Structure 1
Amino acid sequence: MKSIKVIFIIIIMILGSTLYGQVSIKTIPFKDWDGKSFPLQDWVTLNGDTLKQDFFEGKVCFFNFFAAGCPPCMREIKYLNKLSNNYLEDMDVCVVSFFCGSKDEFQKFYKSQEYTTKASPNSTLELNYSLVPVPKYTVIPIDSYLFRDRYHAWGVPSNLIINKQGIVKYCRSGFPMEKEAQENLYSEYLSIIDKLRLNN
């Protein structure tokens, strides 16, 4: 009887180590994208538009990965709006966010953040607001499995900057709380993108 228990424990240990090995293979650090080719493909945006793979080819791409209910992600959105607006007329740069979840999940989250208030106590005019910034750039909803296992975005927000040849030249996870650090990081994004724009 004891020998059967021992065999059973050994089998469990072997299976456990095998499963652990499989998990560790999937949890590749986001920083490991640095210097690697990013897997471009066709993606469908929140608006239902299809962005073909060749749309990204030959461009400097800023790819952001974010999720609903993530405070650092929400703090970063206003800077990504500025970043997108800065390169609005530049055909060599694109700013895109990948949302962890479906289109319905994205819309449900933003709907939950909306509120209405009167313009003044005695006014009949109502104003609509959102508790979180709304992205003014392209957002692509992707399945959470792809989000983590294919793109390795285990922490959010995470950002990649890709050169015109499709190689990752910058990768970073997280967004600071302090205003000065946020501004410095935004300036760093601009500096890296501008340098890559000049390189063919």
Structure 2
Amino acid sequence: MVERILDWVEDTPKSHKTMLLFLCAGLTSIILFQFVVEPQRERALAFQQTIRSLDHQLATSKPDRKLATLKKEIDSLTSRLTTEKKLLATPMDHMLVGIVGKAQSVDVALRSWELEEPVPLPETNLHRVTIRLRAEGGYHALAHFLEELQMLPNTLPLKSLDFHARERSEATPGHPIQASIELTGFQVAEVEPREKSIAGTSTG
């Protein structure tokens, strides 16, 4: 399927490519909000509601029940935080290692990559990071590389994509195509301090 897309890209007028990129950007924004931002916001609101409920329980509990109530809720919150960590995005260094590994596995040469400054996503524990890659490889190798990128966790690949055909030469007999690829990754805000704070409350 990717190979057919590449054939279509080569034959499509530039104005149509620009329109397609805007459409892809819009769809990416919708997917980002629907599957990343909104679920994170809902979990954050649920966590805040749990804290407010705990405050109310402690305010209305009898003195001899407050400690037991607090310990029970701390155990529950710690468990939820542990589960939440499993849902977090892949750390950026792991993501970069994954990209390099995918390139090496399909005989694609990564000529350069660039990371933009992370942008916080409101009401979530995520930061959005744009990754720009310049890769060289054969036609089929690049097609396979794009497929592999889409398998990486917590990325929305192909934010933009451009190809530049190169003349075959003795220096680059197997790398006639250069691809500029822009991806979106998600970097996680650290949660250990919150867990340590809760643990400290239980032992204090």
Q: What TM-score does the superposition give when structure 1 sets the normalisation length?
A: 0.26
Greater relative contact order, per chain length (Cα 8 Å cut-off, separation 6+)? 1
Larger Rg: 2
TM-score normalised by the chain length of structure 2: 0.26
